[in-house]
Amino acid sequence: VIGRQRHCIALEDFSREELLLVLDLAVSMKEVLLRPIKKVPSLRGKSVVNLFFEASTRTRSSFEIAAKVLSADALNWTSATSSVTKGETLVDTARNLEAMRPDVLVIRHSASGAPRLVAQHVACAVVSAGDGAHEHPSQGLLDCFTIREKLGTLEGKTLAIVGDISHSRVARSDLHAFPKLGTTVRLCGPPTMIPVGVEKMGCTVTHDLRTAVEGADAVVMLRIQHERIGDPLIPTTREYSRLWGLNAAKARNWLKPSALILHPGPINRGVELSPDVADGPHSVILDQVQNGVAVRMAILYLLAGGDPAEATA
């Protein structure tokens, strides 16, 4: 368990203390990752099933590595079908996997709320690896971890999140986590990408990139989908890139020298980020990937029944 949480489905459910429990444990998990022998027996005899209904390489691999470093057995179950018309229902799939007695079920699904539905039908712990446009809790935690590690604290800091907030589960998890840890959040994007009522989640909204990033301690640049058929949010990625993309000139003129640039990946180079910025001095994008493993180790460890005091022994 993570405090009172039996599952890790939504950071909306997490208290500040529960967030810190994961972040603090992830510090020692990262230390394990940096050892020459990257293996501890903490979860020996435990099993983790990765149930992925949506294509994902990095998140699935990250959970898989996290499980293996902790000596848990990891099984990957990938399914292209996620609809009742294509065969087995989600609940049936979950019950079948449950019968194999995993300790943790990691699920990614295109439908918001799917991990919650699964959790209602299985006895094991459920971790969301992203559901629809709802939440991506481990990504939110790794964003917190990365910024805290680089800046020393999250208290009193300012984070800007730029891009398609409407469709972003990363933005929602960030919005539920950062304010609880003392960070102010600004959202930025064209009005078509800002969901109704999002300011009620405790953030400010601007449509001007400069206003969003000037003075910010960290900036999360979200991936822009090239085309959304039938629901045009932007005229072209060309115009988006000019108005809301970050290039070297904007970074130089508007960003604090110490500002961090994050991206949940995969990057559309030349759209939301120019290559020189993605690979430049502000970028902590690859740190995020490494920290993701540490954060997921902490989540798996706690939910599989581990004691935080004995995690890396």
Partner 1 sequence: VSNLIIIEGGRVIDPATSVDGIRTVVLRDGQVAEVSERADPPAGAIIIDARGKWVTPGFIDLHVHLREPGQEYKETVASGARAAVAGGFTSIVCMPNTSPVNDTLAVTELILARAAAAGLARVYPCGCISRGSGGEELAEYGELKAGGCVALSDDGKPVMSSALMRRALEYASVFDLPLTVHEEDLALVGKGVMHEGAASTRLGLKGIPGQAEEVMVLRDIALAELTGGRVHIAHASSAGTVRAIRDAKRRGIAITAEVTPHHLTLADEDLAASGYSTAFKMSPPLRSAADLAACVAGLADGTIDCIATDHAPHSPVEKELEFDAALNGIVGLETAFPVCLALVKTGRLTAQRLIEALTAGPARAFGLPGGTLARGAPADLVILDPVAEWLCTADRLHSKSWNSPWLGHRLTGRCTHAIVGGRLVHQDGKER
Closest CB to partner 1 among 74 and 187?
187
**Closest approach of partner 1 to the CB of residue 72, in Å:** 27
Three-point CA angle 246, 249, 253, nearest 5°: 100
Distance spanning both ends of the chain, measured CA to CA: 19
Distances, alpha carbon 211 to alpha carbons 36, 73, 171, in Å: 44, 47, 18
Tell me the closest approach of the beta carbon of residue 312 to partner 1, in angstroms. Answer: 34
Classify strands 158-162 and 184-188 as parallel, antiparallel or unpaired. Answer: parallel
Question: HSE (CB half, 13 Å, CA atoms) of 64?
Answer: 13
41: preceding bond cis by omega (within 30 degrees): no
Give the Cβ contact number of residue 46 at 10 Å: 21
**Nearest residue to 296 (alpha-carbon basis) of 150, 163, 125:** 125
Q: Which is nearer to partner 1, 60 or 167 (CB)?
A: 167
Residue number with CB closer to partner 1 (98 or 149): 98
DSSP single-letter state for residue 4:
T
Provide the minimum distance between the beta carbon of 88 and partner 1 in the complex, in angstroms, as a whole number.
12
Q: Which residue, 113 or 308, has its beta carbon nearer to partner 1? A: 113
Site residues (vs partner 1, CB under 8 A): 12, 82-84, 89-91, 109-114, 116-117, 131-135, 166, 169, 172, 195-198, 200-201, 230-231
- Give min distance, CB of 90 to partner 1, in A: 6
Provide, rounded to whole angstroms, the least separation between the CB of residue 195 and partner 1: 4
Which residues sit opposite 304 in a β-bridge?
Answer: none
With beta carbons less than 8 A apart as the criterion, state whether 145 and 174 touch.
no
CB of 196 to partner 1, least distance (A): 5
Q: What angle do CA 299, 36, 75 make, to 5 degrees?
A: 40
Q: Looking at beta carbons only, is 82 or 312 nearer to partner 1?
A: 82
CA 230 remoteness from chain centre: 27
**Residue (136 or 148) nearer to partner 1, CB:** 136
Q: Phi first, then psi: what are they for 76, rounded to 5°?
A: -105, 125
Question: Which of 200, 226 has the CB closer to partner 1?
Answer: 200
Sheet holding 104-109, edge to edge: 73-78, 47-52, 104-109, 125-131
Does residue 119 contact residue 7 with C-beta atoms inside 8 Å? Answer: yes
- Min dist CB 112 to partner 1, Å, is 4
Q: Residue 194 CB, nearest distance to partner 1 (Å)? A: 9
Please, which residue, 134 or 186, has the CB nearer to partner 1?
134
